[in-house]
Amino acid sequence: MTRNIVVVGTGGHARELLDVIEAMNVEEPGLFHMLGFLDDALERHGRLVRGHAVLGSVEWLETRRHDPPWFVVGIGSPAARRLTAARAEQFGARPATLVHPSAVIAHNVRIGEGSVVTANATLTCDITLGVQVHVNIAATISHDCIVGDYALLGPGSHLAGNVRVGAGCDVGIGAVVIQGLEVGEWSIVGAGTVVVQSVPANVTVVGAPARVVKTRPAGWHLTSN
């Protein structure tokens, strides 16, 4: 059965998610019907993005309460993605889970609703992704990892075995977390960072080895977008 779907956002990340939808439709023709994009920026309403209309803001979903579409949030920021997904769901829209056909998904991988695994990502065995997790191109996740809700794994990032990534973490492009460590919730791991010790919650770490360069108060993400 074909699923009507909208992509929330119109930037590069959103267009990459359209690539995933299109690739899944090649693999399974008719799986999704792309209704269009949603974006809060009024100046983008009515424009075309990759041949699909920007239908309106997230509140456009109110017009579809009788036949709610599926949605996927094309926003990189975990904090903004959390808020946006909650807005979409209040109108009855359903979070779609996307996995690019080129991704390698091994044994006993649990993927939460609304999560996205993009092209050439590799997930080995006994892995759990929470809801609204985004695994970007060519990222790798090794055995027994747990990735919390809304987390973002940047392109080419690597989690070794038995790593715990807390809710809302943003692991930057090319970052590496060695085995058995924990990255606390709502922390940011900068691009190219090498994590060799566990990272506390609500901090930013950069460098090789990683060092804390910024600390935020608990709950900072609740007002950040």
Domains observed in the chain: 3-96 (3.40.50.20), 99-211 (2.160.10.10)
Q: Residue 153 is which amino acid?
A: L
pLDDT on residue 225? 57
Neighbours of 178 (CB within 10 A): 16
Burial class (CB in 10 A: 0-12, 13-18, 19+), 86: exposed
- Contact (CB, 8 A) for 113 and 95: yes
Quote the pLDDT of residue 133. Answer: 98
**CA–CA dist 165, 162 (Å, integer):** 10
**What per-residue confidence (pLDDT) applies to 1?**
87
pTM of this structure: 0.95
SS3 of residue 125 by DSSP: coil
Peptide bond into 200 cis (omega under 30): no
Q: Which pLDDT score is estimated for 224?
A: 65
The whole-angstrom separation of Cα 50 and Cα 167 is 32
The helix/strand/coil state of 20 is helix
Residue 105: Cβ-neighbour burial (10 angstroms; 0-12, 13-18, 19+): middle
Helices (H), 50-160: 78-90
Order across the sheet with 127-129: list the strands: 109-111, 127-129, 146-147, 164-165, 182-183
Contacts of residue 125, Cβ cutoff 8 Å, sequence gap at least 6: 106, 107, 108, 109, 143, 144
pLDDT for the residue numbered 219: 87
CA pair distance 143, 197, nearest whole angstrom: 19
Token pair of 26, please? 């090649």
Q: What residues contact residue 12 under an 8 Å CB cut-off, 6+ apart? A: none
Smallest CA-to-CA distance from 7 within 119, 116, 128 is with: 116
pLDDT tens per residue across all 225 residues of the chain: 899 999 999 999 999 999 999 999 999 999 999 999 999 999 999 999 999 999 999 999 999 999 999 999 999 999 999 999 999 999 999 999 999 999 999 989 999 999 999 999 999 999 999 999 999 999 999 999 999 999 999 999 999 999 999 999 999 999 999 999 999 999 999 999 999 999 999 999 999 999 999 999 998 898 765
DSSP code of residue 93: -
Among residues 186, 220, 181, which one has the least CA distance to residue 204?
186
